[in-house]
Amino acid sequence: MTASRPLADPRHSPNDDPFDIPFDLPAAPPRPGGIAARAAALARPDHAGQGRGVYLDGLNPEQRAAVEATDGPVLVLAGAGTGKTRVLTTRIAHILSLGLAWPSQILAVTFTNKAAREMKERIGAMVGEQVEGMPWLGTFHSIGVRMLRRHAELVGLRSGFTILDTDDQIRLLKQLLQADAIDEKRWPARLLANIIDGWKNRGLGPQQVPAGEGAAFANGRGQKLYAAYQARLKALNAVDFGDLLLESIRLLRENPDVLAEYHRRFRYILVDEYQDTNVAQYLWLRLLAAGSRNVCCVGDDDQSIYGWRGAEVDNILRFDSDFPGATVVRLERNYRSTGHILGAAAHLIAHNEGRLGKTLFSKGESGEKVTVTGAWDSQEEARAIGEEIEQLQRKDHALGQMAILVRASFQMREFEERFVTLGLNYRVIGGPRFYERAEIRDALAYLRVIASPTDDLAFERIVNVPKRGLGDAALRQIHDHARAAQLPLIEAARELAASEELKPKVRLTLRDLVGSFDRWRAQMTSLPQNELAEIVLDESGYTEMWQKDRSADAQGRLDNLKELVRSMETFENLIGFLEHISLVMDVDGGAGGDAVNIMTLHSAKGLEFDTVFLPGWEEGVFPNQRALDEQGRAGLEEERRLAYVGITRARRRAKVFFASNRRIHGLWQSAVPSRFLDELSEKDVEVTESRGGQGWGGGQSGRYGYGPSRFDEAQTFGSSYSTPGWQRAQNASRAGGAGASGGFSGGSFTDSRPSRFAASEKARGGGRLIEGELIARSSGPAARFAIGNRVFHQKFGYGEVVSVEGNKLTVQFDKAGEKKMVDSFVEAA
DNA sequence: ACCATTCACATTTTT
DNA sequence: TGTGAATGGT
């Protein structure tokens, strides 16, 4: 009913581009004298002729070549820090200025919303408001949605289809598994979701799944389940993320007329981070690019780090054969890092085989050498890094210009603990995203039910959240009735509540709930969506549920809800908001003060810092053992690329660390320094000792005790526990492995980090997504707490002060155990 | 329907 | 070790 109403797209307002209004458009290029020509005139300096705009000034010859090669396929191999985004954005400005295409005739695809935002901003800076006329600048997925909404019926959907997130996906699959009586222990829904995702990434529909693979899940039922899942999605008028591409491809393949329309439309296609594209994205691009053939892909094979989620480095390696006659431009002049950093990184990445090969160079100074520091264990590693940070801080280096890049998030904990003790400001970037938090999804589920009453998954999610006595039994009845009567869940619930079939108590609550939804829905048109949301959260008892919750992160969750409501303001209406949120579910965090950044190497891609700390360079951790076990040589190469990405994030200082002992899953394990350490060029590296730690290696032949050519023994990657390194490490651990524990350990971290989102303006600046911010304010004058005081800590929850020394407290937390910290981290409870 | 205990699990993450 | 999910008891 309501759901089939086409959705307005809140992101793009109509513009004066005459071609954007009717979708059918003439093939003729814009006439000179149009907007583009005017823009060109603006971009052109008065004294220069030949249509060369000011925007070209300051580009190096290769960059300029990449910008000016407008015709035919172009591959830009852009090494780290070589001005890739600049080329991309300038190229678009160039096309517009020359009047080669209208803004709406350019398809510019990125991977993340953030990248799309940045690109839009930078283009805007060059060409002004013309950028507003670029409706086809966005992520693969958002553009996919756009196409599907226009032609939904052609792929068996109605235009108002909903987009399921991973959570919905899994719940749906669970139902299918249950219906098929498949043991969820042996065959978890999560696994099936991943498998299906994998197929979709490779552009495979249920019918195209290779027989062997389809049989791999649940004794041969994988393929059947996939088909059932797709059927269920269609019935719900829903798609998952993978479908956005897969269905777009199907749309284009099965409807030549539609494809032809897009061919006429897209005169220029640009793709960012091409090394991260998966097969589906590649197929999609190839379909669209077959029109004008003016496709320009920018990427860096050395920075392909998402193979595990379907990215095909091959796409970039094969570009030349996919698009014969392609112009290939290499950007090798690095503007970011000093010579030593570049040298070390280049030497490392040279150990990879499957690469196109680039040699970065900089004309800048060689700067400080990359340091490699060994620590006894991970605590000392954290201590050493903390000290270095404080030293830099004393020399007036901004904390925000330092980053700790870890391989896996479990490594973060050590640093957080240390920094809390030191009173060092830090922020964790990445981690669970805003929209993944339970409270946000719950809130959204309420809104989804209001906006589209047929959204069964959303209804199911919140029938009993907060607890209102509608448990499994009640839900099953609703389900049964819904199936029998062919009704959406909420309508089934309505009928049940009116009948005598339920226990009086349940019947009343259910009637209440349905009534509430009716009431809210009636208010949808009369109230601004943010006010409505507030009312809903209030009247449903959802806010109250968290207010009553005494756990450490309850406050954070309430804050998140507030932030959600606040972020709704900028949208036209509820529908517009929901449409946006299903694809762009991130929120810009404010800058949040000066703080050290802690994040994974993956989330560091694309960023840069003056100083980069790279801890945990040990075999097994980095390169990650599992990557090695599961992916073999390919896994190792991807890990190496990850290392390369890490080092090249640094502008002036890259500081690598490893620990000889590390506690993994509670057990102390001795560790062998990472083979990647050996792969850093010696001339660019300085080996230092961690203060007080005997570190590792030192004077032996081969810097860390084993030959420089461990890489040659490629066959033994899997488990190299018999290598000399391991044996020596084991001896070392026997000599002194214990005793290093001490200090504080028992800290329990909840997975969701409480966060405070500073107020932020919509899509301003390079606003970073900052999550789980935990910033210490400078501590007040005198001791603010006394022994015995009850205090509250954002991460550890409630506790009692055990001792006070100046502004340092020891607190016994109810849940997290005893911690030492600076008093500014806690507040009176 | 809710709580407590037990059990398996333990990279990387976007849309 | 330590957490989240699932199961079983009240």
What does the pLDDT look like over A321-344, one tens digit per residue?
899 999 999 999 999 999 999 999
Q: How confident is the model at residue A15 (pLDDT cuts 50, 70, 90)?
A: very low
Tell if A602 CB is < 7 Å from nucleic strand B. Answer: yes
Least confident of A52-56, A94-98, A191-195, A664-668: A52-56
A369 catalytic? Reply is no
Q: Which pLDDT score, from 0 to 100, does residue A805 have? A: 74
Options A130, A169, A275, A303, the catalytic residue: A303
Is residue A155 classed as helix, strand or coil in its secondary structure?
A: helix
Tell if A163 CB is < 7 Å from nucleic strand B. Answer: no
pTM (global) more than 0.75: yes
What residues have CB less than 8 Å from A269, skipping those under 6 apart?
A106, A107, A108, A109, A285, A288, A289, A292, A294, A295, A296
Tell me the CA–C1' distance in angstroms for A471 and B10: 31
Q: How confident is the model at residue A455 (pLDDT cuts 50, 70, 90)?
A: confident
Put residue A609 in one of left, alpha, beta given phi > 0 → left and psi -120 to 50 → alpha.
beta
Cβ count within 10 A of residue A449? 27
Put residue A761 in one of left, alpha, beta given phi > 0 → left and psi -120 to 50 → alpha.
beta
Q: How confident is the model at residue A693 (pLDDT cuts 50, 70, 90)?
A: very low
What whole-number percentage of chain A has pLDDT above 90? 41
Burial of A153 (0-12, 13-18, 19+ CB in 10 A): exposed
Tell me the CA–C1' distance in angstroms for A185 and B10: 17
Q: Which pLDDT score, from 0 to 100, does residue A136 have? A: 95
Tell if A248 CB is < 7 Å from nucleic strand B. Answer: no
Tell me the CA–C1' distance in angstroms for A764 and B5: 49
Q: Which pLDDT score, from 0 to 100, does residue A690 have? A: 60
User: Nearest residue to nucleotide C6 when comparing alpha carbons to its C1'?
Assistant: A185
Q: Which pLDDT score, from 0 to 100, does residue A118 have? A: 92
Name the residue with higher pLDDT: A396 or A23: A396
pLDDT at A791 over 60: yes
Options A441, A649, A652, A756, the catalytic residue: A649
Q: Which pLDDT score, from 0 to 100, does residue A268 have? A: 95
Q: How confident is the model at residue A272 (pLDDT cuts 50, 70, 90)?
A: very high
- CA–chain centroid gap for A222, Å, is 28
Q: Which pLDDT score, from 0 to 100, does residue A734 have? A: 31
Looking at strand B, which nucleotides approach a protein CB closer than 7 A? 1-2, 10-15
The pLDDT tens digits for A522-556 are 999 898 989 999 999 999 988 888 887 777 777 77
Tell me the CA–C1' distance in angstroms for A464 and C10: 22
A272 catalytic? Reply is yes
Q: Decide if A718 contacts A632 (C-beta within 8 A).
A: yes
Tell if A473 CB is < 7 Å from nucleic strand B. Answer: yes
What single DSSP character describes residue A278?
Answer: B
Q: Decide if A237 contacts A160 (C-beta within 8 A).
A: yes
User: Nearest residue to nucleotide C2 when comparing alpha carbons to its C1'?
Assistant: A748
pLDDT at A514 over 50: yes
Tell if A748 CB is < 7 Å from nucleic strand B. Answer: no
A85 catalytic? Reply is yes
Tell if A741 CB is < 7 Å from nucleic strand C. Answer: no
Tell me the CA–C1' distance in angstroms for A517 and B7: 39
The pLDDT tens digits for A587-604 are 555 556 789 999 999 999
Least confident of A109-113, A203-207, A231-235, A434-438: A434-438
Q: Which pLDDT score, from 0 to 100, does residue A751 have? A: 26
Tell if A745 CB is < 7 Å from nucleic strand C. Answer: yes
- Which chain A residues 166-225 have CB under 7 A to strand B? 166
pLDDT at A42 over 60: no
Q: How confident is the model at residue A783 (pLDDT cuts 50, 70, 90)?
A: low
Give the nearest nucleotide to A189, CA to C1': C5
Options A44, A84, A200, A407, the catalytic residue: A84
Give the nearest nucleotide to A624, CA to C1': B11
Is residue A82 part of an annotated ligand binding site?
yes
Six-digit token string for A490: 């909420």
Q: Decide if A773 contacts A589 (C-beta within 8 A).
A: yes
Name the residue with higher pLDDT: A281 or A556: A281
Identity of residue A516? S
Q: Which pLDDT score, from 0 to 100, does residue A531 have? A: 92
Give the nearest nucleotide to A115, CA to C1': B14
Q: Decide if A76 contacts A65 (C-beta within 8 A).
A: no
Name the residue with higher pLDDT: A226 or A16: A226
**How many Å apart are CA A606 and CA A616, to the nearest integer?**
21
Tell if A23 CB is < 7 Å from nucleic strand B. Answer: no
pLDDT at A651 over 50: yes
Identity of residue A730? Q
Tell me the CA–C1' distance in angstroms for A449 and C1: 41
Is residue A36 part of an annotated ligand binding site?
no
Q: Which pLDDT score, from 0 to 100, does residue A284 have? A: 96
A84 catalytic? Reply is yes
Tell me the CA–C1' distance in angstroms for A141 and B14: 10
Q: How confident is the model at residue A561 (pLDDT cuts 50, 70, 90)?
A: confident
Is residue A605 part of an annotated ligand binding site?
no
Q: Which pLDDT score, from 0 to 100, does residue A302 have? A: 94
Tell me the CA–C1' distance in angstroms for A755 and B4: 30
Q: Which pLDDT score, from 0 to 100, does residue A439 have? A: 86
Structure-derived torsion over alpha carbons of residues A462, A501, A483, A240, reported in degrees to the nearest 10:
0
Mean of pLDDT values over A803-813:
77
Mean of pLDDT values over A249-278:
95
Q: Which pLDDT score, from 0 to 100, does residue A665 have? A: 85
Put residue A742 in one of left, alpha, beta given phi > 0 → left and psi -120 to 50 → alpha.
left
Closest-CA residue to A426 (of A437, A434, A418): A418
Tell if A512 CB is < 7 Å from nucleic strand B. Answer: no
Tell if A635 CB is < 7 Å from nucleic strand B. Answer: yes
Q: How confident is the model at residue A108 (pLDDT cuts 50, 70, 90)?
A: very high
The pLDDT tens digits for A697-744 are 433 333 343 333 332 222 222 223 233 333 333 333 333 322 232 222
Q: Which pLDDT score, from 0 to 100, does residue A741 have? A: 28
Six-digit token string for A178: 């249950």
Give the nearest nucleotide to A631, CA to C1': B11
Name the residue with higher pLDDT: A713 or A445: A445
Options A9, A70, A85, A184, the catalytic residue: A85
